[in-house]
Each structure stands twice: as C-alpha cells, then as structure tokens.
Amino acid sequence: MNKKQKKMLVRILLAAAFMIGLHFIEIEGWYRFIAYMIPYLIVGYDILIKAGKGILNHQVFDECFLMAVATLGAIALAIYDNGDYTEAIAVMLFYQIGELFQSYAVGKSRRNISDLMDIRPDYANIENNGTLEKVDPDEVEIGSVIVVQPGEKVPIDGIVLEGNSSLNTSALTGESLPRDIKAGDAIISGCINMSGVLKIKTTKEFDESTASKILDLVENASSRKSRSEAFISRFARIYTPAVCYSALALTILPPIVRMLGMNLDPEWHVWMYRALTFLVISCPCALVISIPLSFFAGIGGASKAGVLVKGSNYLETLSKTKIVVFDKTGTLTQGVFEVSGIHHNQIENDKLIEIAALAESASSHPISKSLQRAYHHEIDRSRVKDIQEISGHGIVAKVDGQDVLIGNTRLMEKYHIPYKECHHTGTILHMAINGQYAGHIVISDMLKPTSLKAMQALKSCGIEKLVMLTGDIKKVADSIGQKLGLDAVYSNLLPGDKVEKVEELLSSKPEHAKLAFVGDGINDAPVLSRADIGIAMGAMGSDAAIEAADIVLMDDDPMQIPKAIKISKKCLRIVYENIVFAIGVKLICLLLGALGLTNMWIAIFADVGVMVIAVLNAIRALFVNKL
C-alpha cells in the first residue's frame, strides 16, 4: 500500500470503531446526532468535498454526488424519524472500502506492469582513465563506448566491441532462455548482462533506444481506448443524470398521486428512503472502474508474455480476428538460408561443398554465406583466384587451379554445360568443374520449428482463414503452404502487390471479421498499416516494427501469435462478463428498490459488492501463463 491508501485504511478502521462503539453507548437528542456525525465525517469528508466541487464546476452527476445525496438524505430521514444513523455511515464506509480496494487493485496492476517492464536503466558506465564513471544515459552520445558489467542492464542500443556474454531478455520477450552475444553483434537496451564484461559502441541516443520506445509504447497504451471503454464512458454520462432524475421522480410523484388521486397518506419519508436506496444502487462504479481495469490488466498480462499492445482498441480488434495473413521470410521461416540437399556427380559431398564455399567466399549474399557456414572450416582465400560474379547467373572462379562455375541454369546454358533438372524445393545451385557437370546444391529457407504448431493453434482458437504472401517463387511458396496447411498462398509478390492482395482480402471478407497481417515490420510497413490489425514479429530492436505495427511481438516464435489472440479473447470475455453482471444486478436491485423490497444494506451490495467482484474478475486478465 502507498501512503494515501494507508491513510484511507486508518480512516476506515477509525470510523468503523467509532460506529461500533456508539452502539454500546446511550445518547439522546442532538448529542446523538453529533456523535454519529464524527465517524461519518471521518470516512466521508473527502466525498462531500468532491461532490461540492463538482456542483461548483457544473459537473454534478458523478458517483461522489450520488453518495453525498444518498447519505445526507438518509441522515435527514434519521433526524425526522428519530431513527438510526448507522445506514448512512455504513453506505459511506463500504463505498470507501470499495474505493480502497479498487485503488489497491489498480496499483497492483501498475506495479506488475512496472516489474515486468523494468527495463529502464538508471545509469551507463563510461570508462575514464581506467576507472568506470556512472553517468545518466541521457548524457551518452552516439558513438560513445560504454561498459556493461555482469548483472547490469544494457542502457543503450549499440554494437559489441569487446567481450562475450549471455543476455537475459525476459523483460523484452517474456522468455527466460538466454541469448549469447559476442564482439560484432548488435545489442539492444533493456537486456540484462548475465556473465562477461561487454564494451559497447552506442548506435542510438537513449531516447531512441529500444527500451525507451517500448516503455513509451506501454505507458501510452491507455490513450487508445476500445469501443467498449468509449461506450462505458458515454453510458456513464447519460446514465448518472438519468438515475438522479428518476430518484427525484420517485421521491415526488408517488406521494402526490397517493395524496391527490387516492386520498391516502403521501408517506413522503417512505418514498424518500426508496429514492435514496435507488441512488446508492445506481452508482455506476462497477462499470466505470472494472472495464478500463480489465483492458489495463489485459495489456499488462500481454506485456509480461512479450506481446506489446499499443492500446485497448487493438486488443479488442485482435479478439475479432478471423483472417490472419503472413509474410513468409522471418515470420514462418527462419530467414536464414541453409544447405538442405547435395546431389553430386562422381565427387564427394564434402568436396563439392568445399569447392562451392571457396568459389563463393568473396560474396556477402545470404546464399553464399549459407555455403560458407556449411563448409565448417576456415576459408583459405589464397586458394581462389579470378572470381567473377555474373549478375543473374552466378559465379565463375578458379579454385585450386580448376575452373569452377556455380549458379543457376542460365549459367550452365551460357557455358553450354549439360545439367540435370532438379525437382527439389528451394534455390538450386548447379556446379561445373573444368567444363564437366559436378552436381547441384539445394539451398532452403528453413521453416521455424513451431510454425506448423502455431498454424494449428490459430485454427483451434477460431481463425477461419490462413494466408501467406511472399515474393518467393510459386514452387517454394506452394511447398511451404502445403506443409503448414495454409488456406491460400500468393507468390512472386512485390511490396506493392502485397498491399493490393490485402485490399482484395479486406473487400471480400465478412463485415464482422477482422484481418490481421503478421510481418517483420521493416519491409512490410505498408501492409501492416493497411490491415485491420498489424502485428510485427520478432521485433527486438526494430524501430520500423514498433512504429508501423499495432501489436509488437518481441519474440520471433510463431506461437506468440495464437497466444496474443487468446490473451485478447480472454480480456474481452472478462469485459463482457463485467458489463452483463454489473448491469444485470443493478437493474434487478433498482427495480426492487423502487418497489420498496430492498433496503440500504442491499443497496450497498449492489454498489460496492458488485464493484469488488467486477474488479477481482478484471484482475484475472493479468494472468496469461496458462494460455
């Protein structure tokens, strides 16, 4: 509890003790009134002040006004009837208990989010004359060299100059698996250095670093309200004045009808008591508090799982998603090319890879890199001469004095080398040595291990159509689509073509269904922006992802996508439960109150009790571990 909450708890306990003590003391007349006003003012003075300020500011109709009118009216009736003041004090007492509980629940949600997003560094280490000097991260300029010791947070994005270590990225990804890092690797702020000392050259200012952008995203999420939240806000503005006027009508009209039309005792005090009970019941606290809290907790729970949601409106849209469209590279596949097949012609596999790696040693192309990795040995560049890269064809070189050709079918045809057709899926590199066909190597962009499981999970959580858009050739795209059980695959697409295809899917989908696009957030920014909901995947350190997408998945595991959808569905289910429960209970109690079948104690339950139950239900959105 914070200081304010502790002060309120003391006031509640003190007022309760006074109220209970007065039951054992016999006091008559005005002394009795004054005695009971002590606990009433102890627990409710701030409500009365807020109600007064609201009247002066012409913002009359809020819960403080309802509580003030209801309790002061109950006190007036107790004076008139020489009755009990306990009900008025109890209404104010239990209302404040509910407010304290709500304040604590919101505080707990904020603390949970703060804990799981505790990535803002307090300082950066600058080496000065052999000693480390702690400085404010804001003061570190781009290109500075900082030192991160074991156990410290990485304060600013940069490149590792010296050192090897493992990084704890759980605050960013929600996963506890450490990430190994070495000299030359890019490193992002918010990670915790677990082992070795790292020297890092900064590539961004502190305000532009990943940690700052993520914190800003989470802190501003509440500014983008969902339709449910907006509805509740509008509902409260109309509902509160309506019940106030209804209570006034309940006070005046029945007595007048009884007096003029039926010649009966108007029973003013009876109808006033009913009207005051009606006011207590009608307080919209449960809705006004629990609905935003549900979304706040949902965003917090998602953040803990490495799913950053930019606003509750996006959480609501995600829950209605029926079509998910994927980019291929880096989303469903690893985005890292690997040798998946070797087919030789009178030459050993290892020898074919060795010659290919040497011939491709001067190239930085991803396919060349995959051949160099497959060789598993250090490349001796002195063995390679006369390297010539023929655009759109491949490479010609001398390896150990032998003429080597490595490339596509056009290269073979250019040099009149008879080659064997290959029907394997992937990029085919044909090779010839000294004018003789030597075989071919298949290079593939491998599927992520969890891609198939993720597609199955999406189907099981209500997704009706899975689509893949890719610039890759049809043969490769169709093969991946078949392996993953996708409903539609579109290949050979440029970035502009992807936008057009998403436009087609949006125009042909059912009106109620929402379309989500999942991409890497860099090349797919136009599509991310055009879809109903844009999801950037594996976006650790990607500025474009954080800027373009509505939801950012900090891990590149495809299983994060169904998890995000399940989180959104759970959050919206809790929101609807609270709306139905709160309105349902209040309508029943309002009707019973108008008929005189309830008293102030039932009214307290309809207000405070319903609010506490709704808040407890809302907090469930924080817990997503079992999804």
Residue 246: inside a domain: no
Q: How far apart are CA 52 and CA 48, in angstroms?
A: 6
Q: Locate tokens 């571990």: which residue?
A: 625
Query: For residue 526, which of 493, 553, 499 has the smallest C-alpha distance?
Result: 499
The yes-or-no verdict on residue 408 having pLDDT over 80 is yes
Q: What is the CATH number of the domain that holds 188?
A: 2.70.150.10
Q: Quick one: 312 and 358 in the same domain? A: no
Q: Locate tokens 């992002």: which residue?
A: 188
Positive or negative torsion for Cα 134, 136, 139, 144: positive
Q: Quick one: 500 and 599 in the same domain? A: yes
Q: Which residues, including other chains, have CB under 8 Å from residue 245's CB and lie 6 or more apart?
A: none
Last residue of some domain: 396, 423, 446?
A: 446
Give the range of the structural domain holding residue 515, as residue numbers without chain letter: 271-332+448-627
The yes-or-no verdict on residue 486 having pLDDT over 90 is yes
Task: Give the tens place of pLDDT for each residue, 223-261.
Answer: 555 666 666 667 767 777 887 888 888 888 888 888 887
- The pLDDT-based confidence of 570 (bands split at 50, 70, 90) is very high
DSSP alpha helix (H) spans, 23-59: 29-56
φ/ψ (deg, to 5) at 60: -75, -50
Residue 223: inside a domain: no
Q: Quick one: 608 and 488 in the same domain? A: yes
Q: How far apart are CA 331 and CA 537, in angstroms?
A: 7
Q: Quick one: 558 and 494 in the same domain? A: yes
Q: Quick one: 477 and 596 in the same domain? A: yes
Residue 426: inside a domain: yes
Q: Are 325 and 516 in contact (CB under 8 A)?
A: yes
Last residue of some domain: 116, 145, 166?
A: 116
Structure tokens at 161: 């100059």
φ/ψ (deg, to 5) at 336: -125, 115
Q: Is 238 exposed, middle or buried (0-12, 13-18, 19+ CB in 10 A)?
A: exposed
Q: Quick one: 318 and 467 in the same domain? A: yes
Structure tokens at 214: 């993520």
DSSP 8-state assignment for residue 382: G
> What residues act catalytically?
327
Q: Quick one: 167 and 284 in the same domain? A: no
169-183, 250-264, 524-538: least confidently modelled range: 169-183
Q: Amino acid letter at 329? A: T
Last residue of some domain: 446, 475, 507?
A: 446
Task: Give the tens place of pLDDT for each residue, 129-162.
Answer: 778 888 988 888 898 899 999 888 898 989 999 9
Residue 492: inside a domain: yes
Q: Quick one: 85 and 135 in the same domain? A: no
The yes-or-no verdict on residue 386 having pLDDT over 80 is yes
Residue 230: inside a domain: no
Q: How far apart are CA 207 and CA 602, in angstroms?
A: 53
pTM: 0.69
Task: Give the tens place of pLDDT for each residue, 92-134.
Answer: 888 788 778 767 766 665 665 555 455 667 789 998 777 888 8
Q: How far apart are CA 2 and CA 520, in angstroms?
A: 42
Domains contained in the chain, number:
4
Coil vs helix vs strand at 534? strand
Q: Which residues, including other chains, have CB under 8 Å from residue 215's CB and lie 6 or more apart?
A: 117, 119, 120
Q: How far apart are CA 197 and CA 181, in angstroms?
A: 11
φ/ψ (deg, to 5) at 323: -125, 130
Give me the pLDDT at residue 160, please.
92
CB crowding 353-385: b at 16 or more within 10 Å, else e: bbbbbbbbbeeeeebbebbbebbeeeeeeebbe
Q: Locate tokens 């309790």: which residue?
A: 71
Q: What is the CATH number of the domain that holds 588?
A: 3.40.50.1000
316-325, 433-442, 487-496, 591-600: least confidently modelled range: 591-600
Residue 166: inside a domain: yes
- The pLDDT-based confidence of 540 (bands split at 50, 70, 90) is low
Q: Quick one: 560 and 583 in the same domain? A: yes
Q: Quick one: 398 and 409 in the same domain? A: yes
DSSP 8-state assignment for residue 154: P
Give me the pLDDT at residue 220, please.
62
Q: Quick one: 103 and 139 in the same domain? A: no
Q: Which residues, including other chains, have CB under 8 Å from residue 154's CB and lie 6 or more apart?
A: 121, 148, 167, 187, 188, 189, 190, 191, 192, 193, 198, 200
Residue 239: inside a domain: no
Q: Quick one: 536 and 610 in the same domain? A: yes
- DSSP letters along 555-615, please? S--TTHHHHHHHHHHHHHHHHHHHHHHHHHHHHHHHHHHHTT---HHHHHIIIIIHHHHHH
Residue 247: inside a domain: no
Task: Give the tens place of pLDDT for each residue, 253-301.
Answer: 888 888 887 777 888 888 888 888 887 777 777 777 778 778 888 887 8
Q: What is the CATH number of the domain that holds 430?
A: 3.40.1110.10
